[in-house]
Structure 1
């Protein structure tokens, strides 16, 4: 299939310029003004619009078995929703149970992901340690295109990695040319705070942020960064939500340490007042970890994105319906943690970031796709509009508007943390592998069209 996108402004992380973009099959084959195209080519008029690389969401959980239930979005519905919002690649998580083979879990997730409509790739969590885990990390890097390993410093008595596991896994990742990523919350502190709140009879969703204050996140971020520094490995901190964690990243980077930070679209625009709502179903719908923070922390995260100490934007897309969330109606620790957003991230970041002047269009591309592609070794296949790159593109209408609502979203779960927000700046068209999969509100996602993205190991000079 051949497609020509005419008359738009191409926006990459380094520059913007007027050009047509020609795709053939799943690749970009030409970029320039007034390009010739075959008579049978699909023509997209991008006049007055931007042509940008498809978004990369570095943090999603599709079809995740978690806290006794399974997320509402599977790999088809979740990736399809992403395509509607301009995200063409997701980075999901294989999360083995403690004592489970990493390879066994990986193959299970690959089976689930076969129905994906957009491209996908995996971080693999290290939830326990043994010689077998050491060996299987090597197999995943060498044979399965995995170059990142996730470590949960939270969720005591479940998937939490202790310091020994962090040290051993970080060391192994460095040997293999892989990058460790961490969910930074002190799981022991969270557990104790949760028990204290329950003993006091504070059982509703308002207790959730009280059990996970910024200090809990900051301690874990500082610890992970210190361990990485001693071992000489890079480290990527997922869903940075507070100023204190950002400060830890900024200090380390100022000293030359390779530390990368990720911000969630939700943490950028939603504050902790949601947990005080008298509508308990609404409050439970916002329970995720780390929780939403005060406006002070939002301002810090924007500063981090603008200043280069936060590098990517994601969603932690992990959808649960009201009935699933109600499992914790008498005990906030039993509310399944997770919110959606894969469909809305690009528009929310554009509306709140670019329209306010905090980000330029090129900086938007940097934090929604280019940095992710570079940090996780998918560049220049992903994250850039260039000849030879994948034909994963979003035609972006900066004047287009949409009011976000669970009633009109493609994602499942029946809830949206951005409910009622009108965003200015939306995709008019999304191309995945050269195919138009979203066009002015019409979703044309195809189950199974998504491809697994192999990510090669890094060279020692990166590590």
Structure 2
């Protein structure tokens, strides 16, 4: 099958230029001006931007924690992603049953994604303990195409820094990349107990129990333990954490930094709203000065990736499980469909980042850092024909009633966003066009990855 996209403004991290794109059998076959070759389908992108398909490397589309389960699942979650211009996801599994193998959760997720995903996908591994058997599995999982694995520095399945050092040793020697949820567990537990004992259990105390220095201190300890080996800090939320990473990069530390739209746009004041439980997530929302610093980090290159940490526990479940006690509230928020329009509207349209930088943050950088490039994240001959077409003349308020995820709210309700994806193409197949989903359940394919250990 041949697909021809004509007259679009192609945007890459290096330049923006007018050209046509011809895809054949799922890959980009030609990029040129005025391609006249016959095609099975032709889309006129006159006056619109054409980007390489979005790559969201941090989602929790099917997370289940006991009797608490996110709203979407892999089908509805990937449909929402496609409407948001994202054509590739990398999903984070939760911890599995006690003493399960390192392969257990990624293998289970791959099987479920194979049946449900409408876009292409990969998965991360997750550490929930460290012993000889787990360490032996690391190179095996990497050889299976899953070279990034996550460590939690808080929660029930957190690792000690002695265990983390063992993990990094084997990950580094095997060519893997260790991802970190960076919060200081001791600080959090102490403050949660303090506020609990004082009866301060409203949502605002969720933020107060996870202060900015808990993130910065955890990042410092991670970098100290890594001793120069590559690490990946997910969902960066604070100015203090950003400063630690900036200093580390300045002296050559290989560290990848990711943030999310909620940390760029929302502040802890939301926790004082009547529906403040909606915004309980970890790390929590911060202050305006943190948002401002993160925007600067996007512009100057300190932050490499904008992902979502999409984790769609419903507001109904947040109230059900966490009524009168923030510590019991399932954490997370949806965002896979709004990442692209929000970053364009609040970033490019408001002059905080360039159009080309936007392209890097949502597509090329995540593809490169996570070992998907140049198959993904690239507008080049031979790359997968993954695109989204954006109409910057479209301006509308974000509403849960018009989004395609299954969650009963969006944290960005009422935000006026200018610039929306109108067409999404995955491996040469149009799966979203002008408000209609035209893809099929289970059409996505697994993407084995081999990320480089060095910074690109």
User: What's the TM-score once normalised by structure 2's chain length?
Assistant: 0.97
2:329 is the alignment partner of 1:335: yes
Q: Report the secondary structure of 2:124's partner residue.
A: strand
User: Of 201, 207, 210, which residue of structure 2 is paired with 1:209?
Assistant: 207
- C-alpha separation between the residues in 2 aligned to 1:77 and 1:276? 31
Q: Report the secondary structure of 1:365's partner residue.
A: helix
- 1:272–1:291 contact (8 Å) kept in structure 2: yes
The match for 2:3 is 3
Q: Report the secondary structure of 2:247's partner residue.
A: helix
Query: How many aligned residue pairs are there?
Result: 453
- C-alpha separation between the residues in 2 aligned to 1:287 and 1:245? 20
Deviations 1:340-369 (A, max 9, x none): 000000000000000011111110011101
User: Of 214, 231, 234, which residue of structure 2 is paired with 1:235?
Assistant: 231
- C-alpha separation between the residues in 2 aligned to 1:111 and 1:148? 18
The match for 2:381 is 387
Q: Quote the offset at 1:386 in angstroms.
A: 0.7
Runs of 5+ unmatched residues, structure 1: none
The match for 1:83 is 82
* RMSD between aligned residues: 1.3
- C-alpha separation between the residues in 2 aligned to 1:449 and 1:368? 22
2:279 is the alignment partner of 1:286: yes
User: Of 436, 449, 453, which residue of structure 2 is paired with 1:455?
Assistant: 449
- C-alpha separation between the residues in 2 aligned to 1:262 and 1:274? 22
User: Of 189, 192, 199, which residue of structure 2 is paired with 1:191?
Assistant: 189
2:422 is the alignment partner of 1:421: no
Q: Quote the offset at 1:462 in angstroms.
A: 6.2
Q: Quote the offset at 1:206 in angstroms.
A: 1.6
- 1:95–1:126 contact (8 Å) kept in structure 2: no
Deviations 1:275-299 (A, max 9, x none): 011x1xx211111001111110000
- 1:151–1:181 contact (8 Å) kept in structure 2: yes
- C-alpha separation between the residues in 2 aligned to 1:226 and 1:90? 30
- C-alpha separation between the residues in 2 aligned to 1:132 and 1:119? 31
Q: Quote the offset at 1:99 in angstroms.
A: 2.2
The match for 2:174 is 176
Q: Report the secondary structure of 2:383's partner residue.
A: coil
- C-alpha separation between the residues in 2 aligned to 1:314 and 1:290? 14
Q: Report the secondary structure of 1:348's partner residue.
A: helix
User: Of 430, 444, 449, which residue of structure 1 is paired with 2:424?
Assistant: 430
2:262 is the alignment partner of 1:266: yes
Q: Report the secondary structure of 2:90's partner residue.
A: strand
- 1:324–1:336 contact (8 Å) kept in structure 2: yes
The match for 2:12 is 12
- C-alpha separation between the residues in 2 aligned to 1:8 and 1:108? 40
Matches within 5 A, 1:35-54: 35-38=35-38, 40-54=39-53
Cα 1:9–1:28, aligned 2, differ >3 Å: closer, same or farther? same
Matches within 5 A, 1:11-410: 11-38=11-38, 40-66=39-65, 68-97=67-96, 98-114=98-114, 115-142=116-143, 144-155=144-155, 158-228=156-226, 230=227, 232-277=228-273, 279=274, 282-326=275-319, 327-410=321-404
Deviations 1:121-153 (A, max 9, x none): 1111111101111111111111x2011111111
Runs of 5+ unmatched residues, structure 2: none
Q: Quote the offset at 1:444 in angstroms.
A: 2.1
Q: Quote the offset at 1:67 in angstroms.
A: 5.8
